[in-house]
Amino acid sequence: MFNQRKAISIELIIRNQLTKPVGVLLEKYSAILEYSKDRSVRNRAKKDNPINST
């Protein structure tokens, strides 16, 4: 799962890059969140059903 420490470190990275346009930052942030969510869903699926893992 997406843990608190990662969320905090991503937040710090975003704060350090506040000179960039906000839209770009939001895009990056949501992409990172989506990636981690997708990965955790895939990992959970593998645990639940190891034979038919995609």
pTM confidence score: 0.33
CB 6, CB 29: distance < 8 Å = no
pLDDT computed for residue 6 by the predictor: 76
- Each residue of 11-50: pLDDT tens digit? 777 777 666 677 777 788 888 888 777 777 777 777 776 6
pLDDT computed for residue 43 by the predictor: 75
